Structure 1
Amino acid sequence: MIGIGFVYCVAGSFFATCAILGLADRRWANTLFHGLLATSFFAGDRIGDLSNGVLVLALVAIATSGRMRRGETAEAAAPHGPLLALALVIPAVALGGTFLFKQMPALVDSRQATLIALATGVLLALALCWAVLRRTPLEGVRAGRRLLDEIGWAAVMPQLLASLGAVFALAGVGEVVGGLVGQAIPAGSVLGAAIAYGLGMALFTIVMGNAFAAFPVMAAAVGIPLLVRQYGGDPAPVAAIGMLAGFCGTLLTPMAANFNIVPAALLELEDRYGVIRAQVATALPLLLFNILLLWWVVR
């Protein structure tokens, strides 16, 4: 059966190739950083918790050392039409594959259908680039490495922050927050629970920089015990709308560096927080809408 290991293999192969290219360029810090990332994808489930923790600390040490350098400059771009069409192959395959793979439980792990479809779309897009643009898959990896060089250490922030959310959940932060929220919400108030859940998702995301990190905490604090168990809400829309509320917080925080700070740097904006300021007018009304939608769905 094709499972999450397939996705890890694709991601690990990309970072391993980046490490080899960095070694050829004698960019030692980049080589070690990408090599450790490849190791985490290839062998993270076999090296144990302690070794994974040491690996993460090593990644942080390399990222903060200031020794990671930019590499080769961009090559001439392909014509915009074919390039855009080929780029759209990835989301198209991810969407279609999600529905298709869920109907093939004997072949594909249905729980990981979306990630497997996404990885399949990436491989298919690389193959089509080779056939249509006459560009080898290695050139696609080189382009990806150039983007990694521009983003730098912020590329791994979502992965690390999502892990932080899991640590907070295991440490019982959700239960503590739930106790405080339960004292503040009027008994039987679905609207109060919806506000606490939606606003809490946004605020925790602002602090932690990632909605995936905030979700385990707020789901354990409000989403599951109040909106689902006490008020009978459907877990699927409660979870989905909660994540959307968290993404509103993503639009408002410099902690989401790969979304808000890196684009400002790449665009050479004078205002480092210009992207965030432009997103406020979208984030706040959208957060209000998500809270009201959550209230309507649960009540």
Structure 2
Amino acid sequence: MEQIYTVKVKCRPNPGLAYPSERAYSSSTVGGLALAHLFLAAIGFTLCALGYATHCEYIGGVVMIIGALSAGLVGLLACKRWYVDRNIRWFLVVSVLSCLCSTVSAVLSCVVLIRQAHPVHWPGPDLNDTSTFNVTAVEAEPGEVEPVVEFRREIYVHIFLASVVECVWSVLSVKIAWKGVKNGLKKMRKKKNNNNYPQKRCQGVGQESRPDILENIRKSSLDPKFGNYSDVVKELCRLQRTSDRLVVGALYPVESEHPQLPLPESHLEYRQRIEKFLQSGSEQCDSGIS
């Protein structure tokens, strides 16, 4: 009885198959985060406008608006100009700043709500003008809450919720921006002959290392059809051509059955060889059965 085993291998997707704007970091994801920051900034601006309409002097919402608006604008810049490495770094910095601003706004909102729930009574007599001509000094009945105070309390609660959501969104933005900074592409420097190569610095010296000329000559000496093979196969092919088969003769004597190294075969040749092998095996099975 045959036993069939299923092996599932989970690996990261090949970055070569992704779009250029999705290799270092996902520009579409950064754009979505930026739009969410702008939306939260618009909500905070609306709440602050309603609060100032009732002569409220609360500044916690303004702090949250500044952080969310900055993160949204820099996120749109990192989304549109993904090919500039410093944009994702600025998005990381502004996301951290937005996280701090939203945290401060949430703390201030909690303090204001606690003070409204438990107001501080200063010692001393209450001086109220209860004359008949002062209409604005009419006291409310015990247990009655003024509509303006209740409206302000609702605004504080909504600003607190918006600050919490902005803090969570900023933490997510920091995570994605940090991944983009780590996966950033190497800086390319342009030479006089319009050839780009990554900048490398020598350890402990601080000077840029020159390109390896011998490495370029060794690679250019091979045929283009060997470009996809490993360095070991390329080196064997180069030795086989330049040494007039002396190295090959030392590795494989002439008296042996295989006097020379096998040349690297292409995918089509490998496929044909496997098909011939399978065909010969099926013929042997048929002859054995007959």
Per the TM superposition, whether the score is higher than 0.5 is no
Structure with higher RCO (Cα < 8 A, 6+ apart): 2
Q: TM-score normalised by the shorter chain: which range applies?
A: under 0.3
TM-score (norm 2): 0.18
More helix by share: 1
TM-score (norm 1): 0.17
Larger Rg, first or second structure (1 or 2): 2
